[in-house]
Amino acid sequence: MPDFSDSAASGDAKTPLRTAALARRASLSDSDRNAAAMAIAARGLPVPLHEGTVVAGYAPIRGELDPFPLMRAFAARGARLALPVVTRQGAPLLFRLWQENDPLPRSTLGIREPSPDAPEVRPDIVLVPLAAFDASGHRIGYGAGHYDCTLENLRAQRPVIAIGLAFAMQQIPAVPAAAHDVALDYVLTEQGLLTFRRR
């Protein structure tokens, strides 16, 4: 598996928080992980879903909460699914359509991604993986900044809803957010929903 930690950020205030959060996440049992993913799928998204809505998930790595049960539930309700593609460091992610049983070859970074032949789409809803989050909607990722620049790029063109998926134990008192960090609209955990979106 690739290491997405950013060496330039190794001395920043997020580094020990990231390390501790990833260690806690790694301690979860497979049964706890599966139960959390199923609980979130049963609860559903906190926003309306329309026929053809594009929901972008992710192929989980490093013990991330598995979004596929939730994605399958929305596909059954008429959503189109997409998964991210990493193009290069510091560039926004691309999203390509994906559906159940489509192949997910591994990229040069070792990440499962849709086939290059799959159509590129712009998501309406982005399910965001994370290492830690706080009660203000700020998240700690792996330091590469992929989702920050992606959400900034998408939101510059039209509204996009960002929903963090996490285990409840990944919440921390406060994330030392920087100016370039993009806040989430919601976080879904197995214990409930946190809402940060301004009405």
By the 8 A CB rule, do 125 and 160 touch? yes
Q: Is 138 annotated as a binding residue?
A: no
Q: What pLDDT shows up at residue 21?
A: 93
Question: Helix or strand or coil: residue 180?
Answer: coil
Q: What pLDDT shows up at residue 197?
A: 74
By the 8 A CB rule, do 55 and 127 touch? yes
Q: Which residues pair with 127 in a beta bridge?
A: 163
Q: Is 120 annotated as a binding residue?
A: no
Q: Cα–Cα distance between 92 and 199 in angstroms, integer?
A: 27
CA angle (142 as vertex; 165, 31 as ends), nearest 5: 45
Q: Is 64 annotated as a binding residue?
A: yes
Q: Is 21 annotated as a binding residue?
A: no
Q: Is 16 annotated as a binding residue?
A: yes
Q: Is 125 annotated as a binding residue?
A: no
Q: What is the mean pLDDT of each run of 10 residues along the chain (199 residues)?
A: 37 85 94 96 86 94 93 93 89 92 81 91 96 94 84 92 96 86 92 82
Q: Is 18 annotated as a binding residue?
A: yes
Q: What pLDDT shows up at residue 90?
A: 76
By the 8 A CB rule, do 21 and 140 touch? yes
Taking CA atoms, 5 is separated from 10, 12, 38, 129, in Å, by 8, 12, 29, 14
Q: Per-residue DSSP letters for 50-61?
A: -TT-EEE-----
Q: Is 88 annotated as a binding residue?
A: no
pTM of whole model > 0.75? yes
By the 8 A CB rule, do 129 and 60 touch? yes
Q: Is 141 annotated as a binding residue?
A: yes
Q: Is 145 annotated as a binding residue?
A: yes
Q: Domains of the chain, with CATH numbers?
A: 18-195 (3.40.50.10420)
Taking CA atoms, 144 is separated from 7, 10, 28, 130, 183, in Å, by 9, 11, 24, 12, 16
Q: Is 96 annotated as a binding residue?
A: no
Q: Cα–Cα distance between 105 and 114 in angstroms, integer?
A: 7
Q: Is 140 annotated as a binding residue?
A: yes
In whole angstroms, what separates CA 157 from the centre of its chain?
A: 20
Element holding 43 (H helix, E strand):
helix 30-43
Q: What pLDDT shows up at residue 198?
A: 60
